[in-house]
Structure 1
Amino acid sequence: MILRFLRDNLKRLLGRRPKEPLSLLVELLGFEPQDRALYDLAFRHSSMSRTDETGFKLNNERLEFLGDSVLATAMSHYLYLEHPHWDEGELSKHRGAMVKRAVNNAVALRMGLDRFLQIRRDVRQGSSDIYGNTLEALIGAIFLDRGYLRAEAFVLERVLPLFLELERSLMDQTMNYKSLLLEWTQKHRLSLDFRMLQEPKRSGVPFVCGVFVDDKRIGLGRGLNKKEAHQDAAHKALLALCRADEAVARELGINPALLESSQS
């Protein structure tokens, strides 16, 4: 509080007044809200719930539920128009990656939603998912305040560009290579086996895992634990399969270039 007071007074001395909360919100949204109470609610975490006259707790959880559906619909519409030759499976995979919690959290932080969030300090430090939840609640508030078209425009103009910018760095957080590899082998009725080739007894030595498809090793991965080694091995195996046959990437609905760029 003291630091904020000193900072604001310094800005006044320099001839720059600190921005008012409404101007910050307008800057974030790209338009002026009609019902500010909805946005106050969108940024109110359950740890800071208010109680109405009936005793009902008011926080952003219901708006989060609503915004989650609006976000999924807007992203579905975008993918449907942008990729007319993708089938239902490819559309679903890409939408799932775009609305995953890790993506929403990173996008929300890049947007600066943490500046608006009303939350207890101890709760803020406990989970990063609160930011993705807040983004969904904000989208729900826009939907109720200005309707679906405005909410969709916010997603496409403000959220989507940040996702595309962060896509490469978020690749490892949003894609489960092991699950994708399992899906592909099951589809083609091939056997899949993860074999630990090195399990160190001392720290600092990596775990090493081999991926075998029909008893042929196609990937070798390393990690600080078995789970990381499995995931890295599956990543290397998928990379090898995509390099050998471009149809594999199309089947799984993944971008080979991003798979290459996320290689460790």
Structure 2
Amino acid sequence: MSVISMIRNIIERAKRLLGLCSEEPLLRLGEVLGFEPRNISYYQLAFTHSSCSLTDEMGQRINNERLEYLGDSVLATAVSHHLYLNYPHWNEGELSKRRGAMVKRAVNNAVAKRMGLHKMLRYNREMGQRLSPDTYGNTLEALIGAIFLDQGYLQAEMFVLTKVLPLFQELEDSLVEQTTNYKSLLLEWVQQHHLDLDFKMLQEPKRSGGLFVCAVYIDGKRISSGRGSNKKEAHQEAAHAALAALRKVDPTIPISDS
């Protein structure tokens, strides 16, 4: 080990001794996972934020970012498999849209906090409130990556199906309201311009798993349409599309996710 690497390791140990990196024991790990881990080091790494990076003998920083990359792919695959099996009548576009809604960053953040992962994360306490809200979703993805390495794909997929998806379904309505405000933005714009706004349902599914289709009308003219697994989602997508169309003539209209 080089002198520089030795110094880095000494600094990291000193930080932990001084309490600069929070270190919640992984006592709840078995409860969170639903099984006992084989190699605990994967999970320790999954809960190591970049602000508390360790250093290997080559001087490389070690944290949960590589596991996050791996877990992101495993999560997307597990959700894709779930949708493919459970919605055989959906086309590729419908499957892709639903998957995107289920694995988006804000969803992961909310699910991770509900699971209590934020209490298990090791990070530099000096950062305080400067931690990005996405940190928690990143930790969830890193945890999925750790499960994949420790137990294999089938166990990782089971974790997604039994632990992650039920929480997403429980939080879905509030998540839509938290992460998208297209309908309120559109309403604000039409009120400013003294126009009439109307949302009309064009299609409501007769069977479970079907899509709702909604259209936006401004002053009686159809501007856009949107689809979703429920009315709120269809309204939001239609409003989003309407804002995109209106933005071509009024560039001041905000359209990005809140």
What is the TM-score when the length of structure 1 is the normalising length?
A: 0.66
Aligned length: 194
Q: CA deviation at 1:194?
A: 9.2
1:53 equivalenced with 2:57 (yes/no):
yes
Q: Which runs of 5+ in 2 are unaligned?
A: 1-23, 205-211, 216-224, 237-258
Q: CA deviation at 1:253?
A: 3.6
What is the TM-score when the length of structure 2 is the normalising length?
A: 0.67
State the distance in 2 between where 1:248 and 1:104 align.
Answer: 26
What is the correspondence of 1:106-255 to structure 2 with a 5 Å cutoff? 106-126=110-130, 127-175=132-180, 177=182, 196=189, 208=192, 217=196, 219=197, 237=198, 240-242=199-201, 244-246=202-204, 248-249=213-214, 252-255=226-229
State the distance in 2 between where 1:38 and 1:210 align.
Answer: 58
State the secondary structure of the residue aligned to 1:53: coil
Q: CA deviation at 1:245?
A: 4.5
State the distance in 1 between where 2:134 and 2:72 align.
Answer: 13
Q: Which runs of 5+ in 1 are unaligned?
A: 1-19, 179-192, 199-207, 212-216, 220-236
Q: CA deviation at 1:120?
A: 1.2
Q: Tell me the residue number matched to 1:99.
A: 103
Q: Tell me the residue number matched to 1:67.
A: 71
State the secondary structure of the residue aligned to 2:89: coil
| 4+ residue runs over 2 A deviation | 20-23, 121-124, 172-178, 193-198, 208-211, 244-253, 255-262
Which has the larger displacement, 21-30 or 66-75?
21-30
Q: 1:35 to 1:195 in 2, by over 3 A?
A: closer
State the distance in 1 between where 2:229 and 2:46 align.
Answer: 34
State the secondary structure of the residue aligned to 1:156: helix
> Contact between 2:52 and 2:122, CA under 8 Å: does it hold in 1?
yes
State the distance in 2 between where 1:86 and 1:175 align.
Answer: 24
State the secondary structure of the residue aligned to 1:169: helix
Q: What do you get for the CA RMSD once the two structures are aligned?
A: 2.9
| Counterpart selection for 2:42 from 31, 38, 47 | 38
- Residue-by-residue CA offset, 1:165-190 (whole Å, 9 max, x unaligned): 00000013444747xxxxxxxxxxxx
Q: Tell me the residue number matched to 1:187.
A: none
Q: CA deviation at 1:107?
A: 0.3
Query: Relative contact order (C-alpha < 8 Å, sep 6+): which is higher?
Result: 2
State the distance in 2 between where 1:30 and 1:139 align.
Answer: 13
State the distance in 1 between where 2:169 and 2:188 align.
Answer: 35
The alignment-based identity, stated in percent, is 59
Q: 1:42 to 1:241 in 2, by over 3 A?
A: same
